[in-house]
Amino acid sequence: MSRYEKYKDSGIEWIGEIPEQWDVKKIKHRCYVKGRVGWKGLKSSEFLTNGFSYLVTGTDFKNDTVDWDNCYHIDEERYNEDPYIQLQNEDLLITKDGTIGKLAVVTNLDKPACLNSGIFVVRSTKEDFSTRYLLWVLKSSIFTDFNGLTAYGSTIQHLYQNVFVEFAFAFPPVNTQISIANYLQKKTAEIDQIISNKQKLVALYEEEKQAIINQAITKGLDPNVKLKDTGIEWLGEIPEHWEVKKLMYLVKILSGYSPDQCQPTDNGEIDYIKVDDVDKNNFEVANPSSYTSKNFIVSTGQTILFPKRGAAIALNKVGVVNKPICFDTNLMGLKLISEKNEVFYIAYVLKSFSLISIADTSTIPQINNKHISPFQIPLPPLNEQKDILEHINIECNKLNTIIAKVKKQIELLQEYRTTLISEVVTGKIKVC
């Protein structure tokens, strides 16, 4: 990729040098920026499936445009309340609340449209400026860094108009702006397709891993072994010499404590584990809080943990911990009664089975002792459990190595995409 012939200092630290023929402008120098201020009593019943005007929200943004088919509508009276946010083709929209910085360019407008709250409309006020170019400027790390410095709020972030309009960016001639927008649209689409293909490849490897695990824990490792029907729908046939046992005969069910019951004392501290600490992709438990008193130790050895309440059940999170712990009331713990079984074998069975299917879902999904105690699992002899675990570890580690390489490729492609956008919109790379 080539560079422009001569460069000059932009005078803006986060932009650096720009081509000699370029300028630096702020949003306010070339744009009209407006957002809706209040709805003056708009009721939920006024959000129509069809009506005089589209009502655009941030959830309607799709692939840098507005998905008109899924927009709500409002009547003409509401539309006319605020002429400043009545949309035109080529307007640039940016979300300013919650997930700030989502972008869309208005195109193919076939009837009136206006904004819901939470969005700025950015409209070019000069013929030498293209909002399609600004779209890529706002997608760049230049704006991301600026946004990170000026975003307010803790849980809900907000991009203030008086801050946004002060954003300074590299400003090339309009024909260069259009060339840049066209180039980046084409080039990033190519990169995105490569990333998408690699993500699909990762998903296929993950499916292969799960198939290896499911086959091993339900059929064993001998392809010629005689099978018997368990009469259990999710399990089907298992090797003839295996048993089927209820968990109540294999584990002790443990309950957790709420955080206010677990405070440090002079006796010392141990890990306090929450639902978010349990990884949905493996059996690891990461970043627990270390403030629990020894007076509240729930388990001192190998313990299986999984969510027992809320939407997290559907994620099939299963963790295994082998140290003194206390855990949250939203987790359930299982501790093996004897050493005749492998804790990781039982953990694999639970992770392969959809726990949400046994949960009480009448209100909030919930798993209690009454669901877990009678749950039946396939149980090979201890030596086979060990062999199965070794097989799973060997085969899955091979796939994990491949998956890690593909994920690294995805990461590098994403970094390249980000760098490319920033380099192009600041003139470090020349677009013809």
pLDDT at 229: 95
Q: Which residues contact residue 269 at a Cβ distance below 8 angstroms, ignoring those fewer than 6 apart?
A: 290, 291, 292, 293, 294
Q: What three-state secondary structure class fits 369?
A: helix
The C-alpha atoms of residue 423 and residue 432 are separated, in whole angstroms, by 14
Structure tokens at 346: 């039982």
265 closest CA partner among 295, 238, 309:
295
Count Cβ atoms below 10 Å from residue 169 Cβ, excluding itself: 26
Query: Mean pLDDT in runs of 10 for the chain (432 residues)?
Result: 91 91 95 84 86 94 95 94 94 89 95 93 94 96 77 62 93 96 97 98 96 96 95 92 95 84 62 88 81 66 90 90 87 91 95 88 87 94 97 96 98 96 96 83
90-101 per-position pLDDT tens digit: 999 999 987 888
Provide Rg for the chain, Cα atoms: 29
Say how far apart CA 39 and CA 267 lie, in whole Å.
57
Report which of 71, 43, 76 is spatially closest to residue 57, judged by C-alpha positions. 71
| pLDDT given at position 234 | 86
Specify the length of the chain in residues: 432
Q: What is the pLDDT of residue 150?
A: 57
